[in-house]
Structure 1
Amino acid sequence: MESVKGTLIALGGGDDEGLLKLIHSEICAITSHIEVIATATRTPEESGKAYKEAFEEMGCHNVRFMHIDERNPADKPEYLERIGKADVVFFTGGDQVRLAGFLNDTELLRLMRHRYRTENIIISGTSAGAAIMSDSMIYDGYGHYSLIKGEMKTTRGCSFIKNIYIDTHFAERGRFGRLAHAVAHDPEYVGIGLSEETGIIIKQGDQVEVFGPGVVTIIDASEIRFSNTREVDENEPIAVENLKMHLLVHGYRYCLREHLFQSVPQEPGKAVVPG
């Protein structure tokens, strides 16, 4: 995983007040430019306006909504110019396949990725807006059925980071099976399951830290000794040996490159970001 200058902030869904407060505390300056992309929702204009107002209530005065859909292509010159100046890009929840479909293979997404690698920009999102951040994402698989070959499905994400799966509404919707299946099938990937109202901050493309009141589940397949996910027939259950799991809360982090769980040194007097 390459070292990058930008920061990813992803929330597992649910009440996103803690995420908005975190973004506000990270950017600090009221002059910071925030771009809201609500393409994942069925009501993008309504959702975009609501998030714009929420940021403005926190004192952010340069917040704009970027309308990208069937009739509004991503590569408008105006949008490219605005992303070139943005300090924060925020993706709402909804349908991650729809969102990735409108962004992939566009100059707008290439510009976002370039700025994320080379500049101090924040790429953030909740639910679907979190799931699209990696190069591959899970979009199907329910309960115990997701441990049956063919029931868990993945597709191309937006590739701000590689070799992780981010799954959202993780505990609330019983998604352990599908995340475990995904990393067992692709053991070079690390699975990150986000509970609602809880999220992660990924710095330098490597260090995963937690914000919010809940638990982040890390599923690590790097030491698997056996997996039948590629050989077993469709509609048959999978078998995996030595799949590792970690439970991460605020005050701890996971280093993706080293597959290392560790505590986060706290700066004296530094406030904890609320969930």
Structure 2
Amino acid sequence: MEVNVAMEQVKGKLIALGGGDDEGLIRLIRSNICELTAHIEVIATATPLALNAISSGNAYKEAFEELGCKNVRFMHIDEEHPADTPDNLQRIGKAGVIFFTGGDQVRLASFLDNTELLRIMRHRYRTEDIIISGTSAGAAIMSDRMIYDGYGHYSLIKGEMKTTEGCSFIRGVYIDTHFAERGRFGRLAHAVAHDPEYVGIGLSEETGIIIKGGDQVEVFGPGVVTVIDASEIRFSNTRAVEENEPIAVENLKMHLLVHGYRYCLREHLFQPVPQNERATPEPVPGE
């Protein structure tokens, strides 16, 4: 099945971090909010234990408040707190920023799957100037499919790399996190070789991307973003080879992006970002 990576123009922004220290991400989100009175919803469902999720959610709430944001709330969604409560639906309908914390991306996606809450998020992302953001697991769930397993060189063995459905804010990309630090090149390369209509985006820690218009991928942070493009591969055995056998791929392309450069998903194009368009967090008053 062919997937168009940018099927439609969207008004919202996706902001995703590869994990690690996320102060830069918080500041970037803050700099992209027109008004400090904008409503921010923090969702920590990826954290498995309830007490840890509450602690994580409140910590991010305080981090936004320290930068002057005035309307920050923690949205509690887990085994005992369903997503589709009237209060949650009302809150998500007026949120200017939705922030997903790290943890277990499969857990996070499963609690949002087939909910009215997620439907509202997707609709608002397409039609309104809203920010959908996240770190680590909260970044991995942003596309229609996500990688959830695959370790080191073993991920180049058929059956060792696993994918599942994500939250579908964008389609046709795999977003992987902790990319350089945890040796995840193999599993991202395997994923796009198996699904060559997808573009792979690997985020190093403390480094992330802003996706504008569902197409332009720009980098923020001090590290490197790896883009793996399988659109021109000439040979791949990923579908034909037996389980537990290594994969072979010809002409897999890779790009390394840093701050000041972007990748256009529609055109498969690497280019510099004009100086006046670069996203740089604004200084916080009082610093």
Aligned to 1:119: 128
Contact 1:212/1:273 (8 A) holds in 2: no
Give 1:267 shift: 1.4
Please give the alpha-carbon distance, in whole angstroms, between the structure 2 residues aligned to 1:229 and 1:51: 41
Aligned to 1:53: 62
Q: When the two structures are aligned, how many residues end up with a matched partner?
A: 273
Contact 2:158/2:246 (8 A) holds in 1: yes
Unmatched tracts of structure 1, length 5 or more = none
TM-score, normalised to structure 2, is 0.94
Contact 2:100/2:138 (8 A) holds in 1: yes
Other structure's SS at 1:192 match: strand
Contact 2:30/2:281 (8 A) holds in 1: no
Aligned to 1:32: 38
Other structure's SS at 1:267 match: helix
Please give the alpha-carbon distance, in whole angstroms, between the structure 1 residues aligned to 2:177 and 2:74: 24
Matched, 1:236 2:232: no
Listed as ranges, the matches of 1:191-210 within 5 Å are 191-210=200-219
Please give the alpha-carbon distance, in whole angstroms, between the structure 2 residues aligned to 1:208 and 1:30: 25
The code of the aligned residue for 1:26 comes to N
The code of the aligned residue for 1:273 comes to P
Aligned to 1:218: 227
Other structure's SS at 1:27 match: coil
Other structure's SS at 2:270 match: strand
Aligned to 2:78: 69
Aligned to 2:27: 21
Give 1:168 shift: 0.1
Please give the alpha-carbon distance, in whole angstroms, between the structure 2 residues aligned to 1:216 and 1:28: 27
> What do the CA deviations read for 1:19-61 (whole angstroms, capped 9, x no partner)?
0000000004110100000000131111111000110000001
Listed as ranges, the matches of 1:1-275 within 5 Å are 1=6, 2-42=8-48, 43-267=52-276, 272-273=280-281
Other structure's SS at 2:238 match: coil
Other structure's SS at 1:129 match: helix
The code of the aligned residue for 1:96 comes to Q
Give the stretch that moved more between structures: 40-49 or 177-186: 40-49
Please give the alpha-carbon distance, in whole angstroms, between the structure 2 residues aligned to 1:251 and 1:233: 42
Please give the alpha-carbon distance, in whole angstroms, between the structure 2 residues aligned to 1:128 and 1:236: 29
> What do the CA deviations read for 1:98-157 (whole angstroms, capped 9, x no partner)?
000000100000000000000000000000000000000000000000000000000000
Please give the alpha-carbon distance, in whole angstroms, between the structure 1 residues aligned to 2:84 and 2:279: 40
The code of the aligned residue for 2:203 comes to L
Contact 1:87/1:121 (8 A) holds in 2: yes
Give 1:271 shift: 7.7
Give 1:272 shift: 3.5
Please give the alpha-carbon distance, in whole angstroms, between the structure 2 residues aligned to 1:222 and 1:59: 44
Contact 1:211/1:273 (8 A) holds in 2: no
CA RMSD of aligned residues (A): 1.1
Identity among equivalent pairs (%): 83
The code of the aligned residue for 1:8 comes to L
Other structure's SS at 2:30 match: helix
The code of the aligned residue for 2:28 comes to L
Give 1:273 shift: 3.4
Other structure's SS at 2:275 match: coil
Give 1:161 shift: 0.2
Contact 1:141/1:153 (8 A) holds in 2: yes
